[in-house]
Structure 1
Amino acid sequence: MFKPKKHNIYFVVFIQISIHVLALGESLLDDKYRQGLIGGTASSISKHPYLVSFRHKDEIVGAGAIIQRSWIITTANNVFLFEPKDLKVRASSDFATKGGQVIKIKNIFVHPENEGTWRNDIALVQLKEEIQLNKNAVIINIPDSLPRINDTMTTVCGWGYTSDDAKELTVLDDEYPILELRRCKKSFKKPDARGLSHWSFCTFKEGHIPCLFDDGVPLIYKSKLVGLYSGTRGCVDAKHPAIFADVVFHKQWIYKTVFENTDLNFKQNFDES
């Protein structure tokens, strides 16, 4: 299991936590409506059956997508601080913190060129047991190319509250257009902009963006997985582009990692999915 160097991790995490606190502000920490998929609308796991949540003790720490019965894909920043024993995955539930199937983690594979930044922000999680596939737990495939820039809308699904009175994190979704990378970089100051390249892409819809609980939420185009939410420059005001790890760009590493850590039967199932 590869993990970035610890001194890099701690520095990045300190910066990320500081940014979150400054961006949120004390008054907004109690604003439930702005703690999840901002601008999203109520949905269901039956509409997005590949969506999962990660749980550390009793807290949700992000999301991911089912790419095989024993494999979840997510962002490196979502899991790189944890050991496998620290996390569990919840699948096939409308709620991030209850119901569905809860499965322990066997291994965490972080992309070898990720150092806790937006660069190659991708990770694979191998489960100890297979997810029981049903109408609320479905494998999602990866396409061979991204949709055209500004040509059509993609769909994002994640976790959030439907109102300030809501008591449970539920499935939300929204639609985002993909933004040209050159225009996206203009929204970020150096050195952040240098972390944006061919391994990532952006979306922008003012007032709509993933926020807390939503690291690793999947972006979908024509029922296939194209991206995973990686971050932004302060999500609460929803005025900056959302950065997504490009799953299509990392497809070779994803397949190679899965194949090298599964048996022959599982490889055959992967090819047939």
Structure 2
Amino acid sequence: MAKTLHRLIVSVVVSALASIFFVAPAANAGDVSPMIVGGTRASTATYPWVVYLASTSGSQFCGGTLVKANKVVTAAHCVSGRSASSTRVVHGRDDKQSTAGTVVNVTRIWVHPSYRTATSGYDVAVLTLDRNLNSATLPLATPQDTALYAAGNSALILGWGTTSSGGSASRYLLKANVPLTSDATCKSAYSQYSNTSMVCAGFPQGGTDTCQGDSGGPLVFGGKLIGDTSWGRGCAAAGYPGVYGRIASYHSVITAQL
């Protein structure tokens, strides 16, 4: 009863279950409480490849990264069991209350076939959009990009999620930088950690992290997408870094969907 899968939490139970490992069912993802903890305002003009996922009513529930004109990488737990017709991708909108940018329909959702739960890995998915977006895209980390995963690298995180575990949603896109941790550090925090499918990032003292609603959003270093926001204990807690899907490990299966 002490851990939280903090990236996607149903709003009506956030306060009661903030200390329990929990991923909201994807079928109800439109009902979730949609920031980066310890972040600052960011702009999609600077990061044009960061997008958010929304329900048909416009409620934001996860993040994602445009990796091809009509393809978005996100977390499997965001969309597993969810229909393409009930999912939208919002591009070029910093302020969720504005009408800026483009709202795009999703025609296909691919979830990694080995995905079961975020904590067991394979937490990656690819969305196919109904049109090509005129936008810069972010390259994927490859298996040869081992240097990008070195402990201490200061990686960029982006999202529209909550500013604290169980806290209020951000209206605006936020960003922060967090250092990648060593495999040993992450394994000591989480017994479920696997260096073949995950990577951790965060300061030892906490204070900066992804949080509820940031799931599926990007972890960026070296001009490449090296991770997608997946899970962790609470948000920005000392000794418990955020856990991200290790994109390099999934490069071939993601590329097959592009």
TM-score, length basis structure 2: 0.79
The RMSD of aligned alpha carbons is: 2.8
Aligned to 1:199: 197
Residues 119-152 of structure 1: per-residue CA shift (max 9 Å, x gap): 1100000011221x1xxx3211113314242242
Indicate how the Cα distance of structure 1 residues 167 and 65 shifts in structure 2: closer, same or farther if over 3 A, else same: closer
Q: CA deviation at 1:257?
A: 2.1
1:129 counterpart = 2:128:
no
Specify the SS of the correspondent of 1:248. Answer: helix
Residues 63-109 of structure 1: per-residue CA shift (max 9 Å, x gap): 00001111100010111131001110000121235421001110000
Higher mean C-alpha displacement, 154-163 vs 73-82: 154-163
Specify the SS of the correspondent of 1:249. Answer: helix
Q: State the alpha-carbon separation in 1 of the partners of residues 9 and 239 from structure 2.
A: 18
Q: State the alpha-carbon separation in 2 of the partners of residues 168 and 239 from structure 1.
A: 25
Indicate how the Cα distance of structure 1 residues 245 and 91 shifts in structure 2: closer, same or farther if over 3 A, else same: same
Residue from 171, 174, 177 that aligns with 1:172: 174
Q: State the alpha-carbon separation in 2 of the partners of residues 83 and 20 from structure 1.
A: 28
Indicate how the Cα distance of structure 1 residues 234 and 55 shifts in structure 2: closer, same or farther if over 3 A, else same: same
Structure 1: 5+ residue runs without aligned partners?
Answer: 1-11, 26-34, 259-273
Specify the SS of the correspondent of 1:126. Answer: strand
Residues 189-239 of structure 1: per-residue CA shift (max 9 Å, x gap): xxxx23534111101121111112100110111221111110101226465
Q: Is residue 217–residue 228 contact of structure 2 (8 Å, CA) maintained in 1?
A: yes
Q: Is residue 176–residue 203 contact of structure 1 (8 Å, CA) maintained in 2?
A: yes
Aligned to 2:88: 88
Letter in 2 for 1:62: C
Indicate how the Cα distance of structure 1 residues 236 and 152 shifts in structure 2: closer, same or farther if over 3 A, else same: closer
Specify the SS of the correspondent of 1:156. Answer: strand
Q: CA deviation at 1:162?
A: 8.3
Q: State the alpha-carbon separation in 2 of the partners of residues 252 and 64 from structure 1.
A: 19
Indicate how the Cα distance of structure 1 residues 236 and 23 shifts in structure 2: closer, same or farther if over 3 A, else same: farther
Tell which structure's C-alpha radius of gyration is larger: 1
Aligned to 1:143: 141
Q: CA deviation at 1:168?
A: 6.1
1:52 counterpart = 2:47:
no
- Within 5 A, what are the aligned runs for 1:1-273? 21-23=16-18, 36-56=35-55, 57-98=57-98, 99-118=100-119, 119-131=121-133, 133=134, 137-144=135-142, 145-146=145-146, 147-160=148-161, 169-188=171-190, 193-205=191-203, 206-235=206-235, 237=237, 240-258=240-258
- Find runs of 4+ consecutive structure 1 residues off by over 3 angstroms: 15-21, 160-163, 236-239
Letter in 2 for 1:130: N
Indicate how the Cα distance of structure 1 residues 19 and 200 shifts in structure 2: closer, same or farther if over 3 A, else same: farther
Aligned to 1:262: none
TM-score, length basis structure 1: 0.75
